Amino acid sequence: MLLAGKTALVTGAANRIGAEIARTLHQNGANLIIHYRNSSAAAHALERDLNAERNESAICYQADLSDIEALDLLAQKSTQAFDSLDFLINNASCFYPTRLGEINERDWQDLIGSNFKAPLFLSQACYPSLREANGAIVNMLDIYASSPLKNYSLYCCTKAASQMLVKSLALEMAPQVRVNGIAPGAILWPETSDANAVEKQQALLRKIPLNRTGSTESITQTVMFLLGHDYITGEVIRVDGGRLLHSA
Ligand SMILES: NC(=O)c1ccc[n+]([C@@H]2O[C@H](COP(=O)([O-])OP(=O)(O)OC[C@H]3O[C@@H](n4cnc5c(N)ncnc54)[C@H](OP(=O)(O)O)[C@@H]3O)[C@@H](O)[C@H]2O)c1
């Protein structure tokens, strides 16, 4: 129980990678704040599961992370829930293409809001509690933060900004709070209605030296490593099967 007595806030924790991170931190003893936006049923189901394993060890909070006031409230409620806050995992994200010529302000708000604005303002709002706890932040980034994906320019820029945020906050929050990032490659395919999705996925797999997608476990192991390591800060770990070893 490496994280016994610790409390973690995971954003976008109702489904997919966020839910697996939440489960792993909880299995390792942490109390959990499960943040969600629209996925109320899944978030509450996860809360029930975790509380069935350990009574009063998990709670859900809803918030649209594009709303700055909601971020302050989320930080405040998360600290009060279990009397401290040790870890913040900035996982929530929007991901969709924005083709040049069609990019509009709504895309800007959605993509910047979830991938950059929220990690910045939520980290700032949580900082006093994290500092008191000598805690840590992990930002979920993307390999496309450092190498662009065609037709996703806005998304790539938001993740690049969030990657710089890791380094900037690591400097400003030291020595009490460590700040690191994880840049996944292909872990879980996005939910899409694209009829050519399988074909595109096969093409992408051919560019991955390890020739397969990663598992959610490959991400949760990395989160645990970063939270447990007391001398790494400002670092971004790629979990991509070697994908970025190819230039394109
Ligand atoms: N999946 C991959 O293979 C992959 C690859 C590279 C990077 N990543 C990164 O890893 C992280 C997890 O990936 P994922 O695929 O599991 O994520 P995801 O399913 O695309 O999104 C996670 C959650 O983010 C929440 N969210 C989005 N916009 C929000 C907003 N404005 N306010 C509050 N919540 C918001 C949504 O919550 P609700 O459902 O509650 O609305 C959503 O369920 C992301 O940061 C992603 O960029 C993933």
pLDDT tens digits along 126-153: 999 999 999 999 999 999 999 999 999 9
Give mean pLDDT, residues 157-161: 98
Q: Is the CB of 184 under 6 A from ligand 1?
A: yes
Give mean pLDDT, residues 168-179: 98
Give mean pLDDT, residues 178-197: 92
Ligand 1 centre to CA of 228 (Å) is 24
Is 52 buried (19+), middle (13-18) or exposed (0-12) by CB count in 10 A? exposed
Q: Is the CB of 142 under 6 A from ligand 1?
A: yes
3-class secondary structure, 58: strand
184-187-193 Cα angle (round to 5): 120
Q: What percent of the chain has pLDDT over 90?
A: 92
| pLDDT-derived band at 192, boundaries 50, 70, 90 | confident
pLDDT of residue 246: 75
pLDDT of residue 208: 95
Q: Is the pLDDT of residue 35 over 90?
A: yes
Q: Is the pLDDT of residue 248 over 60?
A: no
Q: Is the CB of 14 under 6 A from ligand 1?
A: yes
Per-residue tokens: 129: 């509690």
Query: Nearest to residue 94, comparing CAs of 165, 152, 8?
Result: 152
Give mean pLDDT, residues 157-168: 98
Q: What percent of the chain has pLDDT over 70?
A: 99
Ligand 1 centre to CA of 74 (Å) is 17
**Chain mean pLDDT for the chain:** 96
Query: Nearest to residue 96, comparing CAs of 193, 12, 177, 2?
Result: 193
* Residues carrying an active site annotation: 155
Q: Is the pLDDT of residue 202 over 60?
A: yes
Ligand 1 centre to CA of 14 (Å) is 10
Domains of the chain: 7-245 (3.40.50.720)
Q: pLDDT of 70-118, one tens digit each? A: 999 999 999 999 999 999 999 999 999 999 999 999 999 999 999 999 9
Q: Is the CB of 39 under 6 A from ligand 1?
A: yes
In one-letter notation, the amino acid at residue 15 is N
